[in-house]
Amino acid sequence: MTESGRWAPGSPILWRYRENGSGGGYHICRPVTVVEDTGELLAVWMAPGTECVRPVLADGTPVHAEPLGTRYTKPRTVQTARWSGTGVLKLARPGEPWSVWLFWERDWRFKNWYVNLEEPRARWVGGVDSEDHFLDISVRPDRSWRWHDEDEFTEAQRAGLMDAAQARKVRDAGEAVIEVIHAWGRPFSDGWQSWRPDPVWPVPVLPDDWDRTPAHVSS
């Protein structure tokens, strides 16, 4: 991080998510490379094959293989795994309760935007931290959109991971994104579909202390 508190393009950082509802530690960690870091936007690239941390059930069962009714109540742990498929470009504006991810096919044919509703990111010297809010929105190249994971959003509330007031804020944030989509505002209108990573960038390494508790410096 520079004296201005920004990361230079090409810098490796961590993009992490805290556990929901418990005030506990981190259960998702993805090493990424900074594309752009300004007062208006943080853009990062997660390369194919990146070693990441993800949550699993205590017996090793993948979270999404567990029936919805017990998905958020059974004990969990974390494991490392390589990111499969193509890389992901993540775009986040300071203070906004969502980030926008871009996906491509293997031939760099643009696939879609994916809006991840989440806590505004807190910055620290090694990366950014957030908390996922379950509900998401996908946007196709023809500008059509749809909600995702509404069943998980409802179940998370039933399991006590989110109260009614927070759920209302999350739904309101999603409605705000939909207004941006209808107006075709930023970042959808910014042409990031044509962006490509610098071929000399190495794949960032997952550090042993990926879950250390930092002193956050800003949002």
> If you classify domain 12-190 with CATH, what class do you get?
mainly beta
How do the domains of the chain map onto residue ranges? 12-190
What are residue 11's phi and psi, to 5 degrees? -75, 135
pTM of model > 0.75: yes
- Enumerate residues 6+ apart whose C-beta is below 8 A from 80: 51, 52, 53, 54, 206
Q: For the chain, which residues score pLDDT lower than 70?
A: 1-4, 22-23, 218-219
Q: What is the predicted pLDDT for the residue at 217?
A: 72
What are residue 148's phi and psi, to 5 degrees? -130, 150
pLDDT tens for each residue of 79-101: 999 998 899 999 999 999 999 99
pLDDT tens for each residue of 168-183: 999 999 999 999 999 9
Residues across the chain: 219
Token pair for residue 15?
């993009």
Asked if residues 98 and 117 have their Cβ atoms less than 8 Å apart, the reply is yes
